[in-house]
């Protein structure tokens, strides 16, 4: 068994992508859609398995465990600090998924020359994240919620967690 040298930020993205794809994926699909090499996908899945965030066969994300990590550890392990003002893709409470719930004069963006908004930069969890979210709205929404947890205040974090639970299919009437 390989040693676990800690999670990497892209591991969260890989797990969220698996959730967005549900049961119909292969490693090469993850690699192509996330713009991450096949070997890095394999390493990511191994790290997540050792951390008990995905099943031993690497097919099923343990959503409850992932949500606990996101809620209690994400902002400590992968903190985000808003930076300079740039053009980019809205994220956190500035993204469309949270825009109707949170009123703020601050705008947060992932840097991108194709972005339509100007705001403080939040560095994405991995370099090709913006490219990946342009092709997957569900992934975009989940990563914007993740950023809200990384930089948000209590109200933003609580709303982001509620919406993530819906994406994870964990909200029961």
pLDDT digits (tens, 9 = 90+) for 71-100: 999 999 999 999 999 999 999 999 999 988
CB neighbourhood size of 69 (10 A): 18
State the Cα angle at 157 between 122 and 129, rounded to 5°: 35
CA 29 centroid distance within chain: 17
- CB-CB neighbours of 109 under 10 Å: 27
The three-state secondary structure class of 89 is strand
Q: Is the pLDDT of residue 4 over 70?
A: no
List pLDDT tens digits, range 25-76: 889 999 999 999 999 999 999 999 999 999 999 989 999 999 999 999 999 9
SS3 content of the chain, % helix, strand, coil (to 5): 50, 10, 40
d(CA 78, CA 80): 7
Query: CA angle, corner 25, sides to 55 and 141, nearest 5?
Result: 90
Looking at residue 171, its pLDDT comes to 67
The answer on pLDDT for 3 being more than 70 is no
User: What pLDDT band is residue 173 in, cutting at 50, 70 and 90?
Assistant: very low
Q: How far apart are CA 30 and CA 17, in angstroms?
A: 7
SS (H, E, C) 115-148: CCEEEEECCCCCCCHHHHHCCCHHHHHHHHHHHH
């Amino acid at each position: 068994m390989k040693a676990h040298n800690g999670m990497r930020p892209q591991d969260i993205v890989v797990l969220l992508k698996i959730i967005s794809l549900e049961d119909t994926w292969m490693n090469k699909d993850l690699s192509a859609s996330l713009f991450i090499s096949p070997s890095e996908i394999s390493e990511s899945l191994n790290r997540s398995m050792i951390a008990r965030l995905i099943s031993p066969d690497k097919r099923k994300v343990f959503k409850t465990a992932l949500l606990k990590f996101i809620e209690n550890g994400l902002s400590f392990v992968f903190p985000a600090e808003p930076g300079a003002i740039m053009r980019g893709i809205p994220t956190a409470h500035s993204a469309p998924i949270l825009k109707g719930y949170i009123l703020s004069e601050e705008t947060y963006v992932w840097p991108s020359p194709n972005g339509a908004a100007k705001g403080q930069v939040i560095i994405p969890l991995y370099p090709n994240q913006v490219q990946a979210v342009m092709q997957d709205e569900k992934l975009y929404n989940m990563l914007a919620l993740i950023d809200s947890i990384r930089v948000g205040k209590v109200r933003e974090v609580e709303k982001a967690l509620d919406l993530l639970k819906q994406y994870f299919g964990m909200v029961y009437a």
